[in-house]
Structure 1
Amino acid sequence: MDMRLEVVVIPVADVDRSKDFYKALGWRLDADFSAGDGFRVVQLTPPGSGGSVIFGNGVSSAEPGSAAGLYLVVSDIEAARAELTRNGAEVGEVFHDAGGVFHHAGTKDRVPGPHPERASYASFASFTDPDGNSWMVQEVTERLPGR
């Protein structure tokens, strides 16, 4: 049976501010539903993605800004960084890990610039939304077998 991860809930403090932020990044607004009791659900999808994010009022008990480890996969890390920056995100510099594979937690062993051989899965940049939910942008140019 196929199982697809299609929605991730992110905790935010200000729904309209978050909606405006993600829309400015070029994300498609899929839904914005409200109920009379203050419940509100907003869903947006990054360009080309099969997965979406949901946030709103009453959809998460997590602390606003506590989501981490959210990944956007791109084919060109430098072009993606430029586009995100142009659209209002404060994106950190492109980096790779000293070990050359994935990256350590935090900023340990970060080396400035893309991976020297532009190895797939090895170049990154990061940004946060207005609440501090953290996103990692990862360059993937060639998928591992079976992907």
Structure 2
Amino acid sequence: MDFKFEVAVIPVSDVDRAIHFYKTLGWRFDAEFANDEGYRLTQLTPPGSPASIIFGSGVTNAAPGSAEGLHLIVDDIVAAREDLIGRGVEVSEIFHDKTGVFHHAGTEGRVDGPASDRASYGSFASFSDPDGNGWVLQEVTTRLPGRV
């Protein structure tokens, strides 16, 4: 039985502002549903991703901007960072974690620059959407065994 991760719900305060932001990133606008009772659901998908994000009004009780650690996997951290900056997004400098494994929460344990030898899974950059939902770019050039 396959269990495929399909969607992450992120909390936003202004649906239209969030739509604009994610479309500016080049994300595909998939769908929008609304009713007369104030419920509104919007779905967008990052380029090349099988998973999407959903946000809207009445979609989640989480506080706007409270999502963190949302990862976007890229094969070239430098090019991905430059692409986002070119789209007007404030992106952190590239970093790796002092443990050489996964990054710590927030900015703790960050070491400037990519992982040594640009080791797969080791280099990161971060940015936030207008509400403060936190995204992390992670460079993956060689997948762990069994991963596609």
What range describes the TM-score normalised by the shorter chain of this pair? over 0.9
Letter of the 2:70 counterpart: L
State the TM-score, normalized to the length of structure 1.
Answer: 0.97
CA contact (8 A) 1:98 1:109 kept: yes
2:14 maps to 1:17: no
Give the C-alpha shift of residue 101 in structure 1.
Answer: 1.5
Q: Deviations over 1:96-129 (max 9, x none)?
A: 0122121122222211111121000000000000
Q: Are the counterparts in 2 of residues 12 and 131 from structure 1 also a CA contact under 8 Å?
A: yes
Note the C-alpha offset of 1:17: 0.1
What percentage of aligned pairs have identical amino acids?
65
Please say if 1:81 is aligned against 2:81.
yes
**Deviation string for 1:62-114 (max 9, x for gaps)?**
00000111000000001000111111221110000122121122222211111
Partner letter of residue 77 of structure 1? I
The range that moved more, 88-97 or 121-130, is: 88-97
Q: Secondary structure of the equivalent of 1:83?
A: helix
* Corresponding position of 1:8: 8
In structure 1, the partner of 2:136 is 136
Q: Which position in structure 2 is the counterpart of 1:28?
A: 28
Alignment check: 8 A CA contact 1:21 1:88 kept:
no
TM-score, with structure 2 as normaliser: 0.97
Q: Which residue of 1 aligns with 2:64?
A: 64
Equivalent AA in structure 1 for residue 122 of structure 2: A
What RMSD, in angstroms, separates the aligned Cα atoms of the two structures? Answer: 0.8
CA–CA separation in structure 1 for the residues paired with 2:25 and 2:8: 17
- Aligned partner letter, 2:62: A
CA distance in 2 between counterparts of 1:120 and 1:7 reads 25
Counting matched residue pairs gives 147
| 1:33-79 deviation line (CA, Å, top 9, x unaligned) | 11111111110000000000000011011000001110000000010
Unaligned runs of 5+ in 2: none
Runs of 4+ in 1 over 4 A off after TM superposition: none
Task: Give CA deviations for 1:19-39 in whole Å, capped at 9, x if unaligned.
Answer: 000000000000011111111
